[in-house]
Amino acid sequence: MRQEAFELSCGEEALRWYASSEKSERGFCSQCGTTLLFRSTLAPGEVHIARACADGPIDRPPGLHVFYDARVEWMSFADDLPKYDREHAGLAKYQVIARRPR
């Protein structure tokens, strides 16, 4: 979603940001720990929202599945949408994100 079109309707006081890599950060609820948002300098002007956290309908249907190879193995999808693995050229800009050592 374009960042300028995004509006957090409630709970901003509980939102915390964590730098999950040098280029990206994740927004989460400081009360329950739920991951809510993702933003990155690799996709400037975008904010990615966990669909389960959006109340009501969204303004477009899903167009594809990304990071399909990272899903849990028992999860299947009953649709014909394209499925992009992490190596797909369309996700190349995210391949530079490295996990921080624990």
Asked if residue 42 and residue 6 are part of one domain, the reply reads: yes
- At 14, is the secondary structure helix, strand, or coil? helix
Q: What angle do CA 9, 27, 40 make, to 5 degrees?
A: 110
Asked if residue 78 and residue 36 are part of one domain, the reply reads: no
Summarised one tens digit per residue, pLDDT across range 55-85 is 778 888 888 998 898 889 998 888 999 999 9
Asked if residue 101 and residue 67 are part of one domain, the reply reads: yes
Q: What CA–CA distance (Å, rounded) separates 28 from 16?
A: 5
How many structural domains comprise the chain? 2
Q: What CA–CA distance (Å, rounded) separates 14 from 44?
A: 24
Asked if residue 79 and residue 94 are part of one domain, the reply reads: yes
CB 29 within 8 A of CB 11: yes
Summarised one tens digit per residue, pLDDT across range 2-16 is 887 777 888 889 999
Asked if residue 49 and residue 23 are part of one domain, the reply reads: yes
Asked if residue 79 and residue 39 are part of one domain, the reply reads: no
Summarised one tens digit per residue, pLDDT across range 24-56 is 999 999 999 998 999 999 889 999 888 888 777
Asked if residue 21 and residue 50 are part of one domain, the reply reads: yes
Half-sphere exposure of 98 (CA within 13 A, CB side): 4
- Residue 98: predicted pLDDT: 53
Give the residue numbers spanning the domain of 5: 1-56
